[in-house]
Amino acid sequence: MIPVRGFEGARVAVLGLGRSGLATARALRAGGAEAICWDDNPEARERAEAEGFSCADLSRAGAFDGIASLIVSPGIPHLYPKPNPVVRAALMAGVPVDNDIGLFFRSVATGEWDKFDQPPKVVAITGSNGKSTTVALLQHILEQAGRDSQMAGNIGRGVLDIDPPGNGGVIVLELSSYQTELARALTPDVAVFTNLSPDHLDRHGGMGGYFAAKRRLFAEGGPDRAIVGVDEDEGLFLAGQLSEAASDDRVIRISAAQKLTGPGWQVFARKGFLSEYRKGRQVASIDLRPMQGLPGAHNHQNACAAYAAARALGLAPRMIEGGLESYPGLPHRSQTIAEAGGVRYVNDSKATNVDSAVKALSAFGNIRWICGGLEKDGGLEALKGHTGSVRRAYVIGREAATFAMQLDVDAVVCTTMGEAVAQAMAEAEPGDTVLLAPSAASFDQYDNFEQRGEDFIAEVTRRLENG
């Protein structure tokens, strides 16, 4: 646990008592503060009270009298589409609003660090797609290199629930736009921006607000090293804002779409090969093509980001290459779950938006595509022109018929995962890939994308076992 500093003897309100909320309450108590908790869910309040926390309705009049700060869980809106009433009440009372990420950055460094031969480092990774894979891949590379490391944030444990880092330790954080937008402290040693595509636009008041939320990770604290994907205009602009000159190697530009040149520091992937250039000269090259845990150009971008972060932490190219080769992949992200009869079965349930689905579709050939679910803002228009490898689509979801009508490929309405898997498997031929890449949220049929992916795995496994 990371005890929260700066609130000794103070009363701090915690809104939302899920995984991060309860961890925040515990960390506040460990730092000498009194946590006043609230969640609209009675069961969540009962769990907090069972641990000895006081619960009080923060929406009542005078609830913020004597409160030093309000700590908000990520899923609770503080501005768009409209502020949560409790957040508004805190702001009206002049009470600062923060989240667990802000508390982490103000609390993680201690006087003990002065005694370390190598001070710990924090790497924070944000972007629209590839964050989780990049975090897990970097964590794997560090472990393979024998470095003490932990991953937290949107993946693994809550940021305040991890162990205090030791000598030379590395903390790798996955941060969403919800987290970076509100945190009052953001001071990573290395910050990574993978890419940007439309997502969560209602929460940020549009694309500009969404980019601004990501940009805060780089603008608030000024990381020692910034790693920026420049395949979109926003990333190119961000890299330009952070650089003092073309040769400024505090910014590492990464790409999976183009060769990068110039006197600075670049890492890019082309035709399956990762290359590192510094001061106009190539210093390393890695063949990514045989690495089953990193299929497709989108995973090659993730490899570039993780490679650049590992280099910024001082690891040698060959040491990083070993970690890339042994990386097994993350569940629900281009995850090969089986190969039988010449057919490959791939679970990419995390492809919850159009952009991530396009990347999954570009990674494989002869695709039997299982897609559908709760459409996000912007519709499916951007899928057109990227479905050349799709032999047929098998559409699931409550609005499967409407979804299927928007596709530019032969599509069959299946509605359920079981029916989609059954038809795809029956029609698949050697050399085909049965790919779950929904291009939509899961909430019309499942609690989350993980549950949807597990259903796909279960259906495939059952049918393969039964012949």
DSSP string, 66-95: TEEEEEE-TTS-SSSS---HHHHHHHHTT-
Q: Are 332 and 349 in contact (CB under 8 A)?
A: yes
Query: 387 a known binding residue?
Result: no
Supply 308's token pair.
Answer: 């650049």
Tell me whether residue 271 is annotated as binding. Answer: no
C-alpha–C-alpha distance, residues 336 and 202, integer Å: 33
167 annotated as belonging to a binding site for a ligand:
no
User: Residue 107 annotated as binding?
Assistant: no
Sheet strand arrangement including 67-72 = 54-55, 34-38, 11-15, 67-72, 97-98
Return all residues near 118 (Cβ < 8 A) that are at least 6 apart. Answer: 167, 168
Look at the block and give the residue holding tokens 């032999």: 391
Is residue 128 annotated as involved in ligand binding? yes
Angle at 216 between CA 214 and CA 218, to 5 degrees: 95
Nearest to 167 by CA among 114, 207, 125, 95: 114
- Which tokens in the block code for residue 457? 């795995």
Q: Is 132 annotated as a binding residue?
A: yes
Annotation-wise, does 130 bind a ligand? yes
Of the candidates 115, 131, 139, 125, which has an alpha carbon nearest to the alpha carbon of residue 315?
139
Contact at 8 Å (CB) between 115 and 164? no
Tokens 């549950």 identify what position? 451
Residues in binding site for ATP: 127-133
Residues in binding site: 127-133
